[in-house]
Amino acid sequence: MLNSSFYGWLNISSLLLGLISWLFPIINIIRYRRGNQKNWITLSLLSMSACIISLWFQIIYNHYLVEIEDWTALMDTTAAVVFVSAVLIIITVLLNIINLFLHKSRLSK
């Protein structure tokens, strides 16, 4: 079992990775407007990867709460984790779909 302070960092890391998963597609949109199409696929893949790892960190944290049998913490936080995870997934996917359509339309011209 890892040190309990490690598990506290999972929530912070999850939040940062979630923000990064939104930042990469936004960078792609800004670069598209400037006519720069370099590495847009790489940034989209990094965005999706950051989203996935962010969610994985939340799963690890919930597993930790189960291991230490902190049922009240699970009951208090599960609804918020489910809601925030859904928002993270929806926005990440939508931003990356927008990027796909923008770059696909420019490449087909």
- CA–CA separation, 106 and 64 (whole Å): 46
* % the chain with pLDDT above 70: 94
Segment 75-98, tens digit of pLDDT: 999 999 999 999 999 999 999 999
Instruction: Give the pLDDT score at 108.
Output: 59
Q: How far is CA 87 from the centre of its chain?
A: 10
Locate the domains of the chain by residue range.
4-107
- Under 8 Å between Cβ of 28 and 43: yes
The CB density around residue 50, as the number of other CB atoms within 10 Å, is: 21
pTM over 0.85: yes
Across all residues in the chain, what is the average pLDDT? 91
Does pLDDT of 109 surpass 70? no
At 34, list the tokens: 């400037």
- Under 8 Å between Cβ of 80 and 68: no
